[in-house]
Structure 1
Amino acid sequence: MIFALIVVPVLGLFFGVHRYLWCRLVRDTTTPGGRPRRVGTAALFVLPLLALGALLAGRAGLPFLLQQLLAWPGYLWLALVLYLVLGLLAGEAVRAVWLRVPARRRDREPGDGRPTTAGPTTAGPAVPAPAPAPGARRIPVPSSSPTLLPPRTPALPPLPAPPRRLFVARAVAAGASLAATAAVGYGTATTLRGPVVKRVTVPLAKLPRSAHGFRIAVVSDIHLGPILGRAHTRRVVETINRTSPDLIAVVGDLVDGSVADLAPAAEPLRALRSRHGAYFVTGNHEYYSGAAPWVDHVRELGVHPLENARTELPGFDLAGINDLAGQTEHAGPDYERALDGRDPARAVVLMAHQPVTIHDTVRHGVDLQLSGHTHGGQMWPFTYVAAATNPTVAGLARYGDTQLYVTRGAGAWGPPVRLGAPPDVTVVELASLRA
């Protein structure tokens, strides 16, 4: 019952949006029965089905090759739908104003005083002939010799123009389509170029002078799946290794799929290099994909999982908690277990996928929490949604005595599009107040 209450409105909205797109992009811009209308109608029937297929293929257990074939057109179409709708909604205002402006009449009716397009004639105004004098002899004028005047050249009618409403509809549709395509193209290129490197310095009161300048490469939300594969992992690993970090923190959402399908895509993680190793905590998408097999596989790749666990490093403790989604498998976050037995005089850095756990983190006296999950909003205007649903959407913030850093992530979920929130790997440099 609850499932139906959620799915039915969502599907209604989904197909309602596509009905709106058909009206504005096809019905209003083409003539009935014409080939453009038939092609446009077919496209707006097939593309929504591809999008639904891309969303449901993984959950339905379809072969991975089929998931890949559906993912590219399906997810890119979803991104295009977003920006097409925004562009067309903006065009509604243009349409309303444009159609209210009176159209200029291209031609005036004859006799309105405007010169015609005929050329000038040599004939002057007509002058009446003088009356003959009394008794004068009339000389008849031969009818075969009439007075000849230059012929008048008829004005050419103007070329027929499209109806005003059709012209406005086509202009708005073309503008929205061009803007949406440009936005999605730019966002896709931003994702496929790989993450940029950000650097931030975080002072910790408990950090000893010996650990001053310790650099942690923080990466999250790589999202290996049907679209982002082995080449994407290689780009992320190369970006991290170029920073020569002391430690690597992989803060969840590594994958969107099973180990059987994505093990080759994750293989480049073996090449991660740092002085004190690489560590991993689960994100919500690991629990959608089979968290336990992925934890084991990540360990085989040389990355150390921290499942509600802690390890001591030179100058501070590094702890990690499971994601909140693990509660469905009785494997949720456990602060007591992760922080049990630690020396409160030592600084502790906590890896936790979702920033919403920050308030529990503050209560447990953690100095710094490293998180991801938000993607920085990934695609404008979802940046505003992410900001409204997370305590910090990206960057460094302070909550009491605890600091929180949220990375925008290195990949993308769903559409491989990042617009207004470019992917990043962040080098967090710890600073001692005693240095």
Structure 2
Amino acid sequence: MQAEAGSPSEDGLRSSGSPRPPRSLRRRLGGGVVLIVLLLLFFLPWWTLFASGTGWPFPVLLVGTVVFAAWLASFPFLMAAGHGRRGSDRAARVADSTLGVVWVLFTWSVLGGLVHLVLIGLGVGGAGRARSIAVAVAVISAVLLAWGHHEAMRVPRVRRLDVHVPRLGGGLDGTRVVVLADTHFGPIDRAGWSARVAEAVNALDADIVIHAGDIADGTPARRREQSAPLGTIRSRLAKVYVTGNHEYFGEAQGWLDRMAELGWEPLHNRHVMVERGGDALVLAGVDDVTAESSGLAGHRANLVDALAGADPERPVLLVAHQPKYVAQAAAGGIDLQVSGHTHGGQIWPFNFLVRIDQPVVRGLSRHGERTQLYTSRGTGFWGPPFRVFAPSEITLLTLRAGDGPTT
């Protein structure tokens, strides 16, 4: 008998006919994994700071335990309130900050635990060893969080780099390309920061300005004030924008329309030509690689459409939000791809986890015989308002004609 749509027998089969767990079981398994991760993230710092032989007076242990337990119990509700349908910016600020604090405490608790084991092996420290490590973890974490918050909230420093593009004509030698990425306008109102970033970009006297996606977390209407300063950015030849994956959590088409309203050229699988001194550069862009799975009609990363009608003899600068699109770019003979997405890891040592998903975390790299990739560490931050050992940047790429040093 043929299974009815939505029946357990249909849900339990892959398209190939092999069995798979029912959807409800997969959800429970996924929820179980999340719960285990959360328990570990909160338990290890608590253990390092208040237990593990630290010998604190009972009131200290009790207060620390109550604080961590309340913190853990409230975190899922704050995340749901801040990033779910309700979309409370206040709840999101608390939840995101909690996530950043716990991650830093967890990281340094792991390192503190390793130091503890080494000291035990060496017979160093005696009875006060665990307490000393607890104090060290707390102090280091506090310093890194204070510094990391400052790094996240300041106007990024300018990173300057010459990029040699062999096919670039002499008329375009010295073209100044300013790259913004991952501004992530969100629950923390950064309208003033946005205005200062725009001033910093204008001071660079750019020929081309690129925004490589993840402009905001939220709708254009909700982040209108924060995005408004982007309309004051100036360039001689072009200002272009492509969608990032976070646009597809909200209103991707709305952000394309908003950027057009602010005077930017949305490169929605299309290109523009820029010319100077008798030479031309193809400036192309594709939607984020997650666009197709969003279900939004007409949205997907399509390099063929982006280059349709372009002269194949002209050099191409491609804007694609995620570095991993470089595989398609190299196959298509792109000269230079500019990306963001990674944030340089944002909070160390998350960069090692990012590297599992992306071929590059930051900087200039070469892929294949022709293609170079520049990966920005991002201009803003996502979620936790911290940047630890992963500073933000406004990037100034100066394009140079001819061969240069090997990248």
Call closer, same or farther: CA 1:307–1:9 in 2, change over 3 Å.
same
Other-structure match for 2:289: 324
Other-structure match for 2:32: 8
Deviates more, 1:91-100 or 1:4-13: 91-100
Call closer, same or farther: CA 1:17–1:384 in 2, change over 3 Å.
closer
- 1:70, CA displacement in angstroms? 2.6
The one-letter code matched in structure 1 to 2:310 is R
Call closer, same or farther: CA 1:411–1:279 in 2, change over 3 Å.
same
Contact 1:58 1:257 in 2 (8 A): no
Contact 1:47 1:74 in 2 (8 A): no
The one-letter code matched in structure 1 to 2:194 is T
1:289 to 218, 225, 250: 250
Call closer, same or farther: CA 1:96–1:309 in 2, change over 3 Å.
closer
Query: What are the equivalent positions in structure 2 for 1:42-61 lying under 5 Å apart?
Result: 42-61=66-85
Indicate whether 1:417 and 2:386 are aligned: yes
- 1:212, CA displacement in angstroms? 1.2
Contact 2:201 2:233 in 1 (8 A): yes
Call closer, same or farther: CA 1:90–1:60 in 2, change over 3 Å.
closer
Contact 2:289 2:301 in 1 (8 A): yes
Separation in structure 1 between the aligned mates of residue 189 and residue 257 of structure 2, nearest angstrom: 21
Q: What TM-score comes out, normalization by structure 1 length?
A: 0.79
CA deviation profile, 1:339-386 (whole Å, cap 9, x unmatched): 111111111111100110111111212111111111111111112222
2:47 to 23, 29, 43: 23
Other-structure match for 2:323: 355
Other-structure match for 2:220: 259
- 1:282, CA displacement in angstroms? 0.2
Separation in structure 1 between the aligned mates of residue 336 and residue 124 of structure 2, nearest angstrom: 65
Query: What are the equivalent positions in structure 2 for 1:135-174 lying under 5 Å apart?
Result: 165=127, 167-174=128-135
Separation in structure 1 between the aligned mates of residue 99 and residue 225 of structure 2, nearest angstrom: 27
- 1:58, CA displacement in angstroms? 4.2
Call closer, same or farther: CA 1:233–1:333 in 2, change over 3 Å.
same
Separation in structure 2 between the aligned mates of residue 404 and residue 20 of structure 1, nearest angstrom: 39
Q: State, as a whole percentage, how many aligned pairs show the same letter.
A: 32
CA deviation profile, 1:370-408 (whole Å, cap 9, x unmatched): 111111111111122223432222111122211111111
Contact 1:51 1:75 in 2 (8 A): no
Separation in structure 2 between the aligned mates of residue 290 and residue 324 of structure 1, nearest angstrom: 16
Separation in structure 2 between the aligned mates of residue 95 and residue 199 of structure 1, nearest angstrom: 42
2:206 to 220, 245, 262: 245
- 1:336, CA displacement in angstroms? 1.3
Other-structure match for 2:336: 368
Call closer, same or farther: CA 1:242–1:92 in 2, change over 3 Å.
same
Structure 1's unaligned 5+ residue stretches are 105-163
Call closer, same or farther: CA 1:319–1:100 in 2, change over 3 Å.
closer
Query: What are the equivalent positions in structure 2 for 1:376-415 lying under 5 Å apart?
Result: 376-399=344-367, 400-415=369-384
Other-structure match for 1:208: 169
The one-letter code matched in structure 2 to 1:71 is A
Contact 1:51 1:70 in 2 (8 A): no
The one-letter code matched in structure 2 to 1:88 is S
Separation in structure 1 between the aligned mates of residue 205 and residue 95 of structure 2, nearest angstrom: 38
Contact 1:287 1:326 in 2 (8 A): yes
Separation in structure 2 between the aligned mates of residue 395 and residue 96 of structure 1, nearest angstrom: 36
Other-structure match for 1:85: 106
Query: What are the equivalent positions in structure 2 for 1:166-245 lying under 5 Å apart?
Result: 167-227=128-188, 229-245=190-206
The one-letter code matched in structure 2 to 1:394 is R
Task: Tell me how many residue pairs correspond in the alignment.
Answer: 370
Call closer, same or farther: CA 1:102–1:313 in 2, change over 3 Å.
closer
- 1:49, CA displacement in angstroms? 4.2
Deviates more, 1:411-420 or 1:79-88: 79-88
The one-letter code matched in structure 1 to 2:108 is G
Other-structure match for 2:15: none
The one-letter code matched in structure 1 to 2:316 is V
The one-letter code matched in structure 1 to 2:105 is L
Query: What are the equivalent positions in structure 2 for 1:114-125 lying under 5 Å apart?
Result: none
Indicate whether 1:433 and 2:394 are aligned: no
RMSD between aligned residues: 2.4
Call closer, same or farther: CA 1:175–1:213 in 2, change over 3 Å.
same
- 1:102, CA displacement in angstroms? 8.2
Indicate whether 1:70 and 2:35 are aligned: no
Structure with bigger gyration radius? 1
- 1:61, CA displacement in angstroms? 2.3
Contact 2:379 2:394 in 1 (8 A): yes
Separation in structure 2 between the aligned mates of residue 251 and residue 7 of structure 1, nearest angstrom: 33
Separation in structure 1 between the aligned mates of residue 104 and residue 124 of structure 2, nearest angstrom: 31
Contact 1:281 1:305 in 2 (8 A): yes
Call closer, same or farther: CA 1:101–1:333 in 2, change over 3 Å.
closer
- 1:297, CA displacement in angstroms? 1.3
Call closer, same or farther: CA 1:334–1:84 in 2, change over 3 Å.
same
Separation in structure 2 between the aligned mates of residue 39 and residue 210 of structure 1, nearest angstrom: 68
Call closer, same or farther: CA 1:100–1:228 in 2, change over 3 Å.
same
- 1:95, CA displacement in angstroms? 4.1
